[in-house]
Amino acid sequence: MDQPQEKPEPVKITITLPTNAYFMSGIRDFTLSMIKNMTNFSEQWAYRFQSVVDELCNNAIEHGSNTKQEIKVSFINYPGDSVEIVVEDSGTGKTKMKAADLQKIVAERSKPGYPFTEIRGRGLAKIVAAWTDELQFEDLANGGLKVKVKKYLKNPALSVPSPSMSGAPDHIVLTI
Binding site for another protein (CB under 8 A): 21-22, 24-25, 28, 44, 47-48, 50-51, 54-55, 58, 61-62, 116, 118-123, 126-127, 130-131
Question: ∠ CA 124-28-56 to the nearest 5 degrees?
Answer: 20
Nearer to another protein, 122 or 150 (CB): 122
- Residue 158 CB, shortest distance to another protein, in Å, is 13
Smaller CB distance to another protein: residue 25 or 166? 25
**Least distance in Å: CB of 155 to another protein?**
16
Q: How many CB atoms lie within 10 A of CB 73?
A: 21
In DSSP terms, which residues pair with 11 in a beta bridge?
Answer: 77
**Would you say 33 or 143 has its CB closer to another protein?**
33
Minimum CB separation of residue 120 from another protein in Å reads 6
Nearer to another protein, 18 or 80 (CB): 18
Contact 124, 59 (CB under 8 A): yes
Q: Which amino acid is at 79?
A: P
Number of neighbouring beta carbons within 10 Å of residue 153: 18
State the nearest-atom distance from the C-beta of 10 to another protein, in Å: 27
For another protein, give the closer residue by CB, 61 or 73. 61
Minimum CB separation of residue 48 from another protein in Å reads 7
Distance CA 37, CA 164 (A): 8
